[in-house]
Amino acid sequence: MSDRSDASPMNIQDTVGAWVPHGKFTLPATATGPLTGLSFAVKDLYHIAGHPTGAGNPTWLATHDIPASTSPLVDQLRAAGASVAGKVITDELAYSLNGDNMHYGTPVNVNAPGRVTGGSSSGSAAAVAAKLCDFALGTDTGGSIRVPASYCGVWGLRTTHDLLSREQVVPLHTSFDTMGWLAHDPQTFLRVAEVLLPATPFQPRRILKSRAIWDLATTDFTIALNDVLKKAESILHSSAQEISLTGPDETFEQWRQAYVAHGAYEAWQLHGDWIQAHQPTFSAPIAGRWLAAQRISSAEASIAIQNTKRIRQQIRDALGQDGIMILPSAAGTAPILQATGADVDALRMRTMHITCIAGIAGICQVNIPYRNAEGLPVGVSIMGPAGSDLAIIRLATEIASLA
């Protein structure tokens, strides 16, 4: 059933260029509940009945029917009292981490002026950072909530894979796609968590730290990382353990390559026919990724899938049933808008060494916003075992409450 009859012109001013042209509508809550009075924007990958889904590309918008069904998460949030504040920009088919869209523009990062928001949940992060909505739905496959949350100084969660419904959402890599949200304050972030996430018996007892992962990030993150580590130790009455996640003669670059090949193969199986039939215009970096995806053979994909399966178990074994890991959410601060392609790509590679860990393992990771010495946003994450999402959010918000 279409929601278009409920739609009204958007009653907020888009001061940061976060909304897509076809996304400027509002929908009321369908009941009162724990989120009454809150509004949320929706990444333009989620279907909302009666409203088009653009997936960050005008050719996609023109060649796909207006959805007849709505994402269950949107329905759940409206039933809990929250209203929809339209649809916001995503990087094209969510295949980027930078947050610039050649068709719909680059949203403004109010917490780091002159710098990108990060992607692919770029509009979600920009709208939340500017406080134009209370929270926003995003997706995270290879870092697409964690990175913009870090760049924009907001809260964000990559959920455990398949903990939240992926129905009625445009996919990218089905083995790694997760649904999540961003919020500008810990109280709102937790309120949404308590609506969307199931209860968990998880009790963190061990705190893990990998020096190799910390060293992937610039020194901008050092003070914040140590602050989270110290506070987690205080709350849990436990000292951090230094661990090495990778096996002998194994690197995070090899992990990234396995993730990229596995995911790209899936992406081409999903969207290759549409790309070949309609020849959409993509930005150069994203076009390059699709070209690479097209060239991955089934034999190469099979090797990558076996590798990600092995790495997944390695990571899950390290966390066990009671471990959390403290790590940077990205490898650096948000790039300036004028950054060269080479610089952006170098940061992306280092960041993906970090973000592919939770992606491959299918586990949860929450970003806690901090600032570096110059006042730029940096994010510190807590990563937990599969299904521990609500518990690690409660721990993260408790850490944030400590002086």
Residues identified as active-site:
43, 120, 144
Widest CA span in the chain: 60
DSSP conformational letter for 250: -
DSSP for 46-81, please give it.
B-BTTB---TT-HHHHHHSPPPSS--HHHHHHHHTT
Range 152-170 burial, b when 16+ CB lie within 10 A, else e: bbbbbbbbbbebbebebbb
For residues 335 and 389, what is the distance between their CA atoms, to the nearest angstrom?
A: 29
Tell me if 332 sits within 8 A of 374, measured CB to CB: no
**CB count in 10 Å sphere of residue 239:** 9
- Prior bond of 120 cis (ω within 30°): yes
Tell me if 183 sits within 8 A of 133, measured CB to CB: no
Phi, psi angle pair for 360, to nearest 5°? -65, -40
For residues 292 and 354, what is the distance between their CA atoms, to the nearest angstrom?
A: 22
Strands (E), 184-328: 206-209, 241-242, 323-328
For residues 317 and 331, what is the distance between their CA atoms, to the nearest angstrom?
A: 25
For residues 224 and 379, what is the distance between their CA atoms, to the nearest angstrom?
A: 8
143: region left, alpha or beta (phi > 0 left; psi from -120 to 50 alpha): left
Q: Among residues 399, 357, 348, which one has the least CA distance to residue 151?
A: 348
Decide: residue 220, CB within 10 A, 0-12 exposed, 13-18 middle, 19+ buried: buried
